Amino acid sequence: MALPQRKIIHVDCDCFFAAVEMRDQPAWRDIPLAVGGQPDSRGVIATCNYLARRYGVRSAMSSVRALTLCPSLLIVPPDFARYKAASQQILTIYQDFTELIEPLSLDEAYLDVSGRPHCQGSASLMAEAIRRRIRDEVGITASAGIAPNKFLAKVASDWNKPDGQFVIRPEDVDAFVRALPVEKIPGVGAVTASRLHALGVRHCEDLRGWELAELVRHFGRFGERLHALVRGIDPRPVSVERLRKSISVEETYAVDLPDLAACLAKLPELLERLAHRLERAGQPAFRGLSVKLKFADFSQTTVEQAGQQLSSDTLAALLQVGHARGAQPVRLLGVGVRLAADDTEPRQLALFHGDEQAG
């Protein structure tokens, strides 16, 4: 007996941090606006409004670069208390439609509305109702994607941004995915897209003739996922409980750390902050230590080692290995632990989208 077709909604607020700022400061609605750090402290853009994006400003861009592209850009510091309050309001709205909610960050989530009675059972009408309530009750806009699985719902939510929605019906999945540019696949960043283009791959259809082993040889474990996604296959359920995999702290320095000795001198402070975070998290068991370095040219590396005790000597040794890989000044240092597989603490929601423009 065939299982009933799933109905997944992916809701993604439009330029969330900036939207909250414009809601609370109406005078900022008609100017290029970004939320992030200041250029004199090596700040990075967290997100920006759509007017700023017309100038080429993007998330994860340095504030210096953003101001070069848009000299009139107003950069304001983040206020996470207000963002979290808005996020909680939005979560409350979701809960009126389904209990199957998987938050990905403060401003986006998957909702499984299969079999829900709201809006005559129509996922598209539910998405419209959710977006309307976010606009009326929270004062910002959101976009939504509706599809039979999480992969397609996430792609669809970006299709009619801002303040829009897009539905991919089961009967349209095959044709839609065939024509989908590979850079639209979540997880395919600029580097992977360039590699695919160099191999003559532009659309998902171009990859359907590849054997699984061939994809794995080129892209490792991600090749397995590509093999499924280019066929529109994504069996992942909406997961209400997800486990935190790691705890870490990091620091971007206003002036590059010139050499290994300068990096080692910063280690005790980072270790103290990490120990404090572990204490606040209830001292969860962990099974590995890591050190992350970002160099002056923005290249980065992470060195890991198994271990169940915080050890300054071990972290110093990892730092030495990582520093040797770049052998140049360092702009960012981070230390962390990889949690044990049976740790049950819910993960902390990410505040920024890693490789994507937030909102």
- Name the residues annotated as catalytic: 108
Grouping H, G, I as helix, E, B as strand and the rest as coil, residue 185 is: coil
| Whole-number Cα distances in Å, 35 to 47, 77, 140 | 6, 6, 16
Backbone angles phi, psi at 307, to 5 degrees: 175, 150
CB within 8 Å of 147: residues ≥ 6 apart: 8, 10, 153, 155, 156, 167, 168, 173
Asked if omega into 162 is within 30° of 0 (cis), the reply is: yes
Q: Which of 300, 296, 293, 295 is nearest to 334 (CA)?
A: 293
DSSP code at position 2:
P
Decide: 76 and 33 in contact? Cβ < 8 Å. Answer: yes
H helical segments located in the chain: 16-24, 50-53, 63-69, 80-95, 123-133, 150-157, 173-178, 190-198, 204-207, 212-219, 221-229, 260-280, 312-326
Residue 355 is assigned to a ligand binding site: no
Residue 79 is assigned to a ligand binding site: no
Residue 258 has a CB neighbour count (10 Å cut-off) of: 12
Torsion (CA) 89, 94, 95, 100 in degrees, nearest 10: -140
Decide: 120 and 110 in contact? Cβ < 8 Å. Answer: no
Strand bridging mode 45-48 / 101-105: unpaired
Residue 71 has a CB neighbour count (10 Å cut-off) of: 9
DSSP code at position 184:
G
The pair of three-digit structure tokens given for residue 111, joined into one six-digit string:
């909702």
| Whole-number Cα distances in Å, 143 to 118, 166, 236, 250 | 19, 9, 22, 32
Rama region for 192: left / alpha / beta (φ>0; ψ in -120 to 50; rest): alpha
Residue numbers belonging to the annotated binding site:
12, 107
Residue numbers belonging to the annotated binding site for Mg(2+):
12, 107
